[in-house]
Structure 1
Amino acid sequence: MFKKLAASPLFIAVILAVVLLLWLLSGDKFRARQAAPAEQQAPTAQLALVETRWSEAEPYQLTRVAQGQLLPWRSVSIKSQQAGTVTAILKQQGDSVQQGDKLLQLSDEGRSALLAQAKANLSLKQSELASARTLSQSKFLSDTELSRLQSELARAEAELESARLALMQTTPVAPFHGVVDRRHIEVGDVVQTGTELMQLVQIEQLKVTAQIPQQHVAALTPGQQVNVQLLDGRTLSGELSFISYAADIATRSFYIEVTVANPERLRLAGGSATVSVELTPVQAHLVSPALLSLDNHGKLGIAVVDEQQQVVFYPVDILTADNDGARVSGLPARAQIITQGAGFVKPGDTVRVAEAKR
């Protein structure tokens, strides 16, 4: 039976197929042992993709705003320099006065008599000294006596000047042209030295005072144009006339004064106002506040792509911010700003750029 099966062609074919299969398998294992596996290719690194948009800098009129107060250009309280009774009021509240105009009259209180006495005493001392000089030339008067008479003459001159000044001070005068703003006395009032009599103001031009933060004072220059907005909406034009050289210790702000013309004598002094100082125009970009970020040093800035397709971080200063966006300075005049993907790249990285969708 077995001999018949071994002689069968089918049996022979099966045996040959098994032998061939074993030979093929043994050849693959041998080659695997002799040859090292082929080196696998590393995947190609992909550059980060960012979206950008071009931004052009435009001139922007920068202003500094502060709350201020309108004051008279000059204001003085006229006080009594002599004691006495008010006998006449020569200028009333609201009256315009010129420099040197008499404002009121105080009682004489014997000052005229003292002045006359001082004049007579001076005349006597002058006569005595003239006679003494004649005698001195003839050696009939000592030098000591001549010196005494000269001293008495000098004292008489001082007494005359004092009496003349005391009488003049019974009629106070305006130290500058202006308006009588307040009157504090009536006819018949008894006043003492230092009593307030009237308030005199000069309002043909006004002085606006304000405080500017220390970080903004470097941009100010005397002579700059200033807009002064009143509470009722009116706007006046002025000129920056003074900037203090030292900051207030408590507020760290600098005191400024603005000169404003007021030829119509509008009643503005003492009121509040908003001061807007126009600075030199600067080149600024209008950007979304969402594009602002902080670098490793905490500096605020914006990431852009340069001509070599590399990321550059530019520190910026925010000039203004409103509903339209933030205006910033510090970027190149024309900048390719990263609008998407800035958080996945760092300065110096080379990136692929896609134009941001409008």
Structure 2
Amino acid sequence: MRMKSQYLFVVVVVAVIAVYFIARSLFGGGAHVAQAKPKAPAAGPPTVQAKLIPEAIRTYEVMVRGRTQATRTVVVRSETAGVVAQTPVLQGAYVKQGQVLCRLAVDARQAALDQAHAAQQSAVLAQQQNEELAKKGYRSPTQVLQGQANLDAAKAAVRTAEIALAQVNIKAPFNGVFDQRAAEVGAYLAPGQPCGTVIEIDPMLIVGDVPETEAAAVKVGAAATAKLVSGQTIAGHIRYVAHDADPQTRTYHLEVTAPNPRLDIRSGLSAELQIGAGSGPAHLVPTSALVLDSAGRQGVRYVQADGRVAFAAIKVVEETPQGLWVTGLSGPVQLITVGQSYVADGQKVQVAQAR
């Protein structure tokens, strides 16, 4: 039986393939293929980009939010009863110490003073007569002493009447601004009721609260500058820093006193205080270089002289458009700027200069 042509073709193809593989194995074709396989390169230390950061002396500043406040605020009250007869000072006007703010009606006070003066004169004449009669033996020492006591009482009555009359003038206790008037003409004031409020704004106070983390850097007498929400700037010195923290906010109250001779700085304005906190070594690092270590501390990684990575915890002392001024580093450092998050402390690295 003759084989069909298609079966004959298949047999020929299989025979040709078998002959090819037999010849390839005999003449080393597999070895050439094996030798052509590339070898895997040996693993080396990772490459990071680093930048040499020099050490610089930097003036430290503490930033505190605060507000302006009058140095003194006093509600001026009446010491006696009476009807307000005059209010010679306009509300908001500058006043000097002793200037009359409200004047009460004199009423019978002048008459009381005149009566006291007359009683005093009578007591003077009576005592003069007692002394003359005592010299002649017609008055005893006891009577002379009694006459002197009457004279002293009359003098005290005059002084009391003078004070009562002076109290109709309610005066400014110090130089300042008559900020609020509480009584108008015709109003009746009992003792202790207010005439108005006087505030002292020269010098001006700027008050704020410094965080406990920065309280140690703030000293009494340190220079401070306040930028006000009104756009004004005022400079002064710290006069007070609290020694006991607020139990709720854990902050320390501070006060800065600053001259305000033109009285153009108002009380109650929001302010941003820049307080000088000395100077010392610092490094300017890019914000992107900051990392956290396994303990959650903020810091940077740098390359040591032996090519190994080290971590340094840092403290930010000032933020600028160019970067962060930080403390915690010493001398010039090869700061890792790219790849710092992918290397570990003590790891050997290759350094490429940052672009």
TM category (shorter chain) comes to 0.7 to 0.9
* TM-fit CA distance, 1:243: 2.3
How far apart, in 1, do the equivalents of 2:291 and 2:322 lie?
15
Question: Can you list the C-alpha shifts for 1:299-339, whole angstroms capped at 9, x where unaligned?
Answer: 44434344455554433212245775543211012112345
* TM-fit CA distance, 1:58: 3.0
1:177 counterpart letter in structure 2: N
* TM-fit CA distance, 1:286: 0.9
Indicate the residue corresponding to 1:333 in structure 2: 331
| Distance verdict in 2 for CA 1:214–1:334, change over 3 Å | same
| Distance verdict in 2 for CA 1:174–1:308, change over 3 Å | same
1:182 counterpart letter in structure 2: Q
User: Matches of residues 179-194 of structure 1 in structure 2 within 5 Å?
Assistant: 179-194=177-192
| SS of aligned partner of 2:91 | coil
Candidates 334, 352, 355, aligned match of 1:355 = 352
**Would you say the 8 A contact 1:56–1:333 is kept in 2?**
yes
| SS of aligned partner of 1:163 | helix
**Would you say the 8 A contact 2:309–2:343 is kept in 1?**
no
**Would you say the 8 A contact 2:61–2:317 is kept in 1?**
no
How far apart, in 1, do the equivalents of 2:289 and 2:301 lie?
12
Q: What's the TM-score, normalizing by structure 2?
A: 0.72
* Residue 109, structure 1, aligned to residue 107, structure 2: yes
* TM-fit CA distance, 1:250: 3.1
Q: CA RMSD in A?
A: 3.5
**Would you say the 8 A contact 1:239–1:259 is kept in 2?**
yes
How far apart, in 2, do the equivalents of 1:312 and 1:137 lie?
111
Name whichever of 174-183 and 211-220 sits farther off. Answer: 174-183
| SS of aligned partner of 1:116 | helix
How far apart, in 2, do the equivalents of 1:277 and 1:307 lie?
38
| Distance verdict in 2 for CA 1:250–1:288, change over 3 Å | closer
Identity of aligned residues (%): 24
**Would you say the 8 A contact 2:289–2:340 is kept in 1?**
no
| Distance verdict in 2 for CA 1:284–1:90, change over 3 Å | same
**Would you say the 8 A contact 1:48–1:345 is kept in 2?**
no
* Residue 243, structure 1, aligned to residue 241, structure 2: yes
**Would you say the 8 A contact 2:315–2:327 is kept in 1?**
yes
Question: Can you list the C-alpha shifts for 1:139-182, whole angstroms capped at 9, x where unaligned?
Answer: 95355x66655554444443332221111010122222333332
How far apart, in 2, do the equivalents of 1:110 and 1:341 lie?
89
* Residue 57, structure 1, aligned to residue 55, structure 2: yes
| Distance verdict in 2 for CA 1:114–1:179, change over 3 Å | same
| Distance verdict in 2 for CA 1:103–1:234, change over 3 Å | closer
User: Matches of residues 1-358 of structure 1 in structure 2 within 5 Å?
Assistant: 51=48, 52-128=50-126, 135=134, 141=140, 151-266=149-264, 268-282=266-280, 283-294=282-293, 299-309=297-307, 311-320=309-318, 325-338=323-336, 340=339, 345-346=344-345, 349=346, 351=348, 353-358=350-355
**Would you say the 8 A contact 1:104–1:171 is kept in 2?**
yes
Question: Can you list the C-alpha shifts for 1:123-145, whole angstroms capped at 9, x where unaligned?
Answer: 444555566567399695355x6
Name whichever of 99-108 and 314-323 sits farther off. Answer: 314-323
| Distance verdict in 2 for CA 1:152–1:216, change over 3 Å | farther
Greater C-alpha Rg? 1
Ranges in structure 1 where 5+ consecutive residues have no aligned partner: 1-45
How far apart, in 1, do the equivalents of 2:322 and 2:102 lie?
62
Name whichever of 106-115 and 64-73 sits farther off. Answer: 64-73
Ranges in structure 2 where 5+ consecutive residues have no aligned partner: 1-42
2:351 counterpart letter in structure 1: A
| Distance verdict in 2 for CA 1:328–1:137, change over 3 Å | farther
How far apart, in 1, do the equivalents of 2:273 and 2:354 lie?
42
**Would you say the 8 A contact 1:47–1:350 is kept in 2?**
no
**Would you say the 8 A contact 1:47–1:351 is kept in 2?**
no
| SS of aligned partner of 1:112 | helix
Q: What's the TM-score, normalizing by structure 1?
A: 0.72
How far apart, in 2, do the equivalents of 1:127 and 1:50 lie?
112
| Distance verdict in 2 for CA 1:205–1:327, change over 3 Å | same
| Distance verdict in 2 for CA 1:146–1:216, change over 3 Å | farther
| SS of aligned partner of 1:263 | coil
**Would you say the 8 A contact 2:101–2:195 is kept in 1?**
no
